Amino acid sequence: MELNKEGLLHLYKVMSTIRHFEERGIPETGQRGMSASVHSSVGQEAVPAGVCAHLSSEDYIGSTHRGHGHCIAKGVDPKAMMAELFGRASGPNKGKGGSMHIADMTKGMLGTNGVVAASIPLAVGAALTSKIKKLNRVAVAFFGDGAANQGVLHESMNLAAVWQLPVIFCCENNGYAESTPFEYASSVEALSDRAASYDMPGFNVDGMDVFAVYEAAGLAIERARAGDGPSLLECKTYRYYGHTVFDDPLTYRTKEEEDYYKSRDPLKLFREKVLPEGEISQSELDSIDTDCLNLMEEAVEFADSSPMPEVSDLYVDVYSDYPISMMKRGTNMSI
Amino acid sequence: MVEMIPSVGRELLYREAINEALKQEMRLDDNVIIMGEEIAGGAGREHLGIQDAWGGPFRTTVGLIQEFGNERVLDTPLSEAGFMGAAIGASSTGLRVIAELMFVDFMGVCWDQLINNAAKMRYMFGGQVEVPFTMLTRIGAGFGSAAQHSESFYSLFSHMPGLKGVVPSDAYTAKGLLTAAIRDNDPVIYFEHKGLYTQPSLVPEETYVLPLGKARTLKSGSGITLVGISKMTWVCMDAAAELDKLGIDAEVIDLLSVSPIDYDHIIESVKKTHALVVVDEDTPVCSIASDICARVAEEAFDYLDAPPTKVTAPHTPVPYSRVLEDQYVPNVPRVVTTVKSLYEGYR
Ligand SMILES: Cc1ncc(C[n+]2csc(CCOP(=O)(O)OP(=O)(O)O)c2C)c(N)n1
Ligand SMILES: [Mg+2]
């Protein structure tokens, strides 16, 4: 997507949708007793927005436990996502997955993932499919700074480089893995430096600035589409809330640090860059925010009025072909 | 002989009992160290006055870093294969390492280190090496955490010769079995149930060791033997109370160890009650429950009035939606119905 007026409004709309989804959806999910495994990406909106602006629904992404933003930026319907969080049958996963497993294969969305770093090789595999079938699609593996220390990332990067696959390893470095500071857990200051070990380009950008993300992602994705292989893109960002709703982040980070990043809020930065140029007015952006607010109202209503899964759905989609009687055999299940 | 049910002590929560065992063993033996993700939390920020930010994801390790310092209490990067392997290596060269895998569902990341190194080194090396390593991990569904954070995969570990495993069901067994696991010279996997952390029970203040591989009887009865594993023990106890009202006098056994499994204890009970139901939160195929049923069928066949039976999760991943998850985990009505149908069918 080009950054003409339409493109700019799209970027803002994606970020605003993510923000509103998190701010409304997470407490609503909590009120329905399902908040154990929901992670807010407020503060990190610029990364999925800037990266996915270069992707179509044919391209692939792999995501994380903090994945609502990736889903929205890749075009997954927020109403269906809300239903998934509420455990409803109208969610993309029919209520089987919840926040940490939202997947929409019609949008090339290979799933948020509950096991840190587990989705990275899935994106590599999707890039392999594209290469072998000559589909000219790219894949983006989103992961956190914590995930960067998992062996599977390193194996995946080497594999992608050896096979010259069209994949972008996109690290959202928000400074923390749960309460563990990035600087404690990593031997290098810039994760993008690790690209050298796998002979691929490493980009390091301000992840609060959607334009910086957009530009670097554009270069990496262009390379991938041209058949020049993988890249590593590190985006320095911040999560405003705790790891989950149960976490008080001030037990391990400072108010000053939080304030610093909030002063560089991605939606605010966008306004500060775009409004002075005059092409887009404040009221246009305000009305996007209002639309997003209203969309979340609709999403909550949609989710609440959607049916729960049938209890017998417990046995559906375990396999393509396997007798349900065998899943219950000898268990004394009551359904 | 240690009592299997405490008569003295003060009330501690399950999670506090784990914490107490860790502290007491670390005080007694300088070779004991502990590592894992968020064991203390906020690592490396002492200069900002930050220490023990989390005290463990479920606060089982709170206060350790203040007392033992960051050389014996190690927060790790998110690298389970690396740090679990390092814990096993350190345990085979003079330390006695406790390492935490945050949820058992993540075992795949470090499985190779557990089954090919920890489990086999002593044997492969002809007895030259000891691996006094303890892995703490967590099991249990029922919290809306979906398929990758809810498993109860102890059976997979029990399948591995060389690994031992325990499933404490209350604060008393949590402390005694953790002390035993740490002191044991073999790798022991210690399964904490997420649904038990805030359960109180009597715990003596001094250290004590409960034997690995021993079950205990929580309620004696003559009508049927119910075997519970971890939290399912309490489902069995509640079911026994219901069954009592129906005139069925159930005996309840708390398994406590999943390797070795105390078959003898169960068989002795079945010789008296002539019937068995094993209640297991794990999936049913190749499970602890199916193993116990098979062993009882082989070794106590003549004593049985009814087929050894199990109440387990179905052979599916753990679903997210509450309406599905509620059906997934074995519950009291399912146990009662199962026992009733055995009574109606065979007695
Ligand atoms: C293999 C594995 N280990 C541990 C966890 C528990 N866990 C969930 S999220 C998380 C931190 C992830 O940090 P990071 O990759 O930086 O992502 P962020 O949460 O900051 O978005 C941890 C340790 C997990 N889900 N999977
Ligand atoms: Mg992070």
Backbone angles phi, psi at B97, to 5 degrees: -100, 135
- A vs B: CB pairs below 8 A: 188
- B274 carries an active-site annotation: no
- ipTM above 0.85? yes
Q: How close B48 gets to chain A, by Cα (Å)?
A: 9
Tokens (6 digits) for B262: 């105390």
pLDDT-based confidence at residue B2 (cuts at 50, 70, 90): confident
Domains and CATH numbers, chain B: 10-203 (3.40.50.970), 216-346 (3.40.50.920)
Residue A178, chain B, CB below 8 Å: the answer is yes
Instruction: Return the residue of B nearest to A317 by Cα.
Output: B316
Closest CB from B80, B143, B316 relative to A36: B143
Q: Of these residues, B25, B38, B80, B151, which one is catalytic? A: B80
A58-113 pLDDT, tens per residue? 999 999 999 999 999 999 999 999 999 999 999 999 999 999 999 999 999 999 99
Per-residue model confidence as pLDDT tens digits over B295-344? 999 999 999 999 999 999 999 999 999 999 999 999 999 999 999 999 99
Query: Ligand 2: distance of its center to the CA of B255 in Å?
Result: 39
Specify the ligand 1 atom closest to the Cα of B38: 23
Active site residue B159: no
Q: Cα–Cα distance between B134 and B95 in angstroms, integer?
A: 11
- The rounded radius of gyration (Å) of the Cα atoms in chain B is 20
Query: Quick one: closest CA in A to B335, which residue?
Result: A332
Contact assignment for B78 to A150 by CB distance below 8 Å: yes
Mean pLDDT of chain A: 97
Contacts of B40 (CB under 8 A, 6+ apart): B51, B52, B53, B54, B55, B56, B61, B64, B65, B70, B73, B75
Long-range contacts of A257-266 (CB under 8 A, 24+ apart): A261/A43, A261/A208, A262/A43, A264/A208, A264/A209, A265/A43, A265/A208, A266/A15, A266/A43, A266/A44, A266/A45, A266/A46, A266/A49, A266/A208, A266/A209, A266/A210
CB contacts, 8 Å: A186 with chain B? 77
pLDDT tens-digit map of A181-219: 999 999 999 999 999 999 999 999 999 999 999 999 999
Q: pLDDT tens digit string along B135-179? A: 999 999 999 999 999 999 999 999 999 999 999 999 999 999 999
- Residues 6 or more apart whose Cβ sits within 8 Å of residue A323: none
Pocket of ligand 1 (CB under 6 A): A 64-66, 114-116, 144-147, 174, 176-178, 243; B 37, 78, 80, 102, 106, 109
**Three-state SS for B342?**
helix
Tokens of B281: 């939160």
- Cβ atoms of A237 and A207 within 8 Å: the answer is yes
Cβ–Cβ below 8 Å for B37 and A178: yes
Q: Kindly list the residues from chain B whose CB atom is less than 8 angstroms away from the CB atom of residue A252.
A: 41-42, 45, 50, 53-54
| Atom of ligand 1 at shortest range from CA of A243 | 19
Mutate to test the pocket of ligand 1, among A63, A64, A65, A240 (most ligand atoms within 8 A of CB): A65
Measure Cα distances from A173 to A214, A239, B304 in Å. Answer: 16, 10, 61
Q: Count the neighbouring beta carbons within 10 Å of the beta carbon of residue B334.
A: 21
**Is the CB of residue B303 less than 8 Å from the CB of residue B274?**
yes
What is the atom index within ligand 1 of the atom nearest the CA of A150? 1
Q: CB B43 to CB A151 under 8 A? A: no
Q: What is the pLDDT of residues A226-247, one digit of tens each?
A: 999 999 999 999 999 999 999 9
Query: Is the pLDDT confidence value at A289 over 90?
Result: yes
Domains of chain A: 5-328 (3.40.50.970)
How is residue B51 written in tokens? 């220490």
What pLDDT does residue A164 have?
Answer: 98
Sign of CA dihedral A16, A22, A27, A31: positive
Using CA atoms, how far apart are residues B154 and B206, in angstroms rounded to an integer?
A: 29
A239 residue type, one letter: R
Chain B touched by A325 (CB under 8 Å): no
Q: Does A149 touch chain B (CB under 8 A)?
A: yes
CA-A145 nearest atom, ligand 1 = 16
Residue B347 in this model has a pLDDT that exceeds 80:
no
B219 CA: distance to closest CA in chain A (Å) = 23
pTM score: 0.98
State how far residue A102 is from chain B, nearest Cα, in angstroms: 11
User: Which residues of B are less than 8 Å from A88 in CB distance?
Assistant: 321
Out of B53, B54, B144, whose CB is closest to A36? B144
Q: What is the pLDDT of residues A54-73, one digit of tens each?
A: 999 999 999 999 999 999 99
Give the closest residue (by CA) to ligand 1 atom 19. A177
User: What is the C-alpha separation between B116 and B111, in angstroms, rounded?
Assistant: 8
Per-position DSSP letters for B53-72, written without gaps between them: SSSSTTSSSTTHHHHH-TTT
Residue B1 has pLDDT above 70, yes or no: no
pLDDT confidence band for A37 (50 / 70 / 90):
confident
* C-alpha torsion sign, points A145, A150, A153, A158: positive
Question: For the segment A160-170, what is each residue's pLDDT rounded down to a tens digit?
Answer: 999 999 999 99
